[in-house]
Amino acid sequence: MEGKAQRIFTAIFFATFFAMFGETIPQSFQPLFIAGLGVTPAVVALIYNIRNVVQTLLRLVAGTISDSLGRKNMMLFGMALFAVIPFIYSVAQTPTLPIVAMFVSGLALSIYFPPSEAYASSLFPPEKAGEAMGRYHMSWAVSSVIGPAVGGFLVGFFPDYRPLFVISGIITALGFLLIWRYTEDDRDVSCPMKPGVQIQMIISEFPSTLRRLLGNRKVLVASIAVFAHAFCHWGLIAFIPLLGAEMGMNEFMIGLTLTANAIAIAVSLPIVGPLSDRVGRFKPIAAGLLFSVAAFALFPLAHYFWMLPVLNAVLGLCAVLVFPISQAATMEALPPEDRGSATGVWGMIMSLGGTVGMFTMSGVLSVSTIEWVFYASAGVTLVLSLVVVAMRGYFD
């Protein structure tokens, strides 16, 4: 990259880092804070699921809208929303404001990431799109590694969670300043079509696009795999703090447990992709799903604190064995002109899996204990794993 492109990419990288750092600092205590406002653990899970529902509905169109409004403008809007979220929690006295905050979080994730990914990739030559996304995604991977542990550590210095939310908001606001100062307005190269027209086209063409893409057998089985992954994995940031608190873990140990997952993801991401190029897509996906079954089933049986970080690290590796490999399987099954739509549909199905999973596990938690959430996750993953195994031939 030339000097200006490098400067812009660096700004986007660190802006994303600060946004996700502020987002992950409260992860070790946020479910406990919401529960402390007078709601049951089952309702906490439902509140978390608001973010998933919003992403399921909006991620597919956010990137397209940015082609008209300009990527910088969309990124600034998303960053502003990220910065507001922690301050909403800091003044919450009832569950109403956390509900609002989760809705805003879903908006922020949907509005910021598609245009920022597009902007970052546009700074590289077309043949280096893979390198661009690899370097870009390290921004949130690194912040996810350190954020939960830092938050859990800082709890020891504050008598209340609220000041930590304020600190998170200040950190996140740094990302807004970087986008505002160091990126360029790109509306002069944007699509002349109005956003409303674009949205109407996406909605009208979506059913036929979905049928056409899922009619491809490899895309279908890859979609089932990523749905299975998201169904159980997306709830970990809500359910692990609840399980840890029940076991008597403090916020620092809960933060380390969440960090272990992020470390495993960050370390294995650059390894698993090339490995699947050699051994095929089925073996890593099947291994990731089946090992997830064992890890979920062992969580309630972990009698020592050190076991939870180990099991969550295993789930981090399992996640990498499934979600990027299923995306690669989807991409390679289709001609280049369909890959943009395929990525959008794949992301939507992943979000849908997380949404349905959180609703399901909230129902389990409303009639049983937190331990049964992990047993249920193991059972659902096992069933969907067997479906994927039975469709092994679809990967050819």
Tens-digit pLDDT profile for residues 128-144: 655 666 678 778 888 88
**pLDDT tens for residues 377-394?**
999 999 999 999 999 998
Q: The pTM is what?
A: 0.80
Q: How open is the CA angle 385-229-356, to the nearest 5 degrees?
A: 105
The fraction of the chain above a pLDDT of 70, given in percent, is 86
**pLDDT tens for residues 68-106?**
667 888 899 999 999 999 999 999 999 999 999 999 999
**pLDDT tens for residues 278-319?**
888 899 999 999 999 999 999 999 888 889 999 999 999 999
Alpha helices by DSSP H, the chain: 3-24, 30-35, 41-69, 71-90, 96-122, 129-154, 162-182, 195-214, 217-233, 236-247, 251-279, 282-298, 307-332, 339-367, 370-390
**pLDDT tens for residues 244-289?**
999 999 999 999 999 999 899 888 877 887 788 788 889 999 999 9
Residue 120 banded pLDDT, cuts 50, 70, 90: confident
Residue where the block lists tokens 């479906």:
387
Write down all domains in the chain, each with its CATH number in brackets.
1-192 (1.20.1250.20), 201-396 (1.20.1250.20)
Per-residue pLDDT, 145: 85
Tell me what the mean pLDDT of segment 347-376 comes to.
92
Rounded to whole angstroms, how far apart are CA atoms 253 and 256?
5
